[in-house]
Amino acid sequence: MTRLIFLGPPGAGKGTQAKTLAAFLQIPHISTGDILRQAIQDQTNLGMQAQGFMDKGELVPDKLVEDMVKERLQQPDAITGWILDGFPRKVTQAEFLAELLTSLGQGGEKVINLDAPDESVITRLLGRGRKDDTEEVIRRRLEVYRDETAPLINYFTDRQKLLTVNGNQSQEEVFTDLKNIIAA
């Protein structure tokens, strides 16, 4: 069973690679953003709670995101494996996830850090042409990412779960590296 957690800076290709790999492995790509949007669309209890925070321009609290991840990992399609993208974002969420996976009998996950240098990521994100993707905003997002994720990288390294893939290569080369990691 393949259970993967994707980490990496914005623009490193996490979403693209997670979708491609999930399709290849025939397991769900679970993105916390997608979970939130789906829960809101479906008007679930958790979705309506999340909508309340988002309507006020506030971040959805950790507990609510954790509850949504818990609910999602218990769905039938996730029993045979999954790729988590966008969760955990901090050590407290990683600790929650470890306890959750133990309680669900879903251990054995690997954590893949798609690493790419800031300059490459900035070039990629500027190339997307989104209005909010200015160089200043992108640099700030990278700074926040590094501040929040450095402890996560150490957390998973200490538990011997972290594998790093060079995200500064073609999509095909990254995908090949990912398949090799899974096969190992």
57-106: pLDDT as tens digits: 787 899 999 999 999 999 999 998 999 998 998 999 999 999 999 999 99
Instruction: Quote the number of domains for the chain.
Output: 1
Secondary structure of 133-164 in HEC code, one letter for each residue = CCHHHHHHHHHHHHHHHHHHHHHHHHCCCEEE
- Domain assignment of residue 60, given as a range: 2-183
Under DSSP, the state recorded for 77 is G
User: Looking at the annotation, which residues are catalytic?
Assistant: 14, 89, 128, 130, 141
In 3-state terms, what secondary structure has residue 4? strand
CATH code: domain of residue 130: 3.40.50.300
Predicted confidence at residue 86, as pLDDT, reads 86
Specify binding-site residues. Answer: 11-16, 32, 37, 58-60, 86-89, 93, 128, 130, 141, 169
Predicted confidence at residue 103, as pLDDT, reads 96
Predicted confidence at residue 4, as pLDDT, reads 97
Specify binding-site residues for AMP. Answer: 32, 37, 58-60, 86-89, 93, 130, 141
Q: What is the mean pLDDT of each run of 10 residues along the chain (184 residues)?
A: 93 93 96 88 92 84 93 93 93 96 93 95 90 88 87 95 95 96 88
Gyration radius of the chain's alpha carbons? 16
Predicted confidence at residue 56, as pLDDT, reads 85
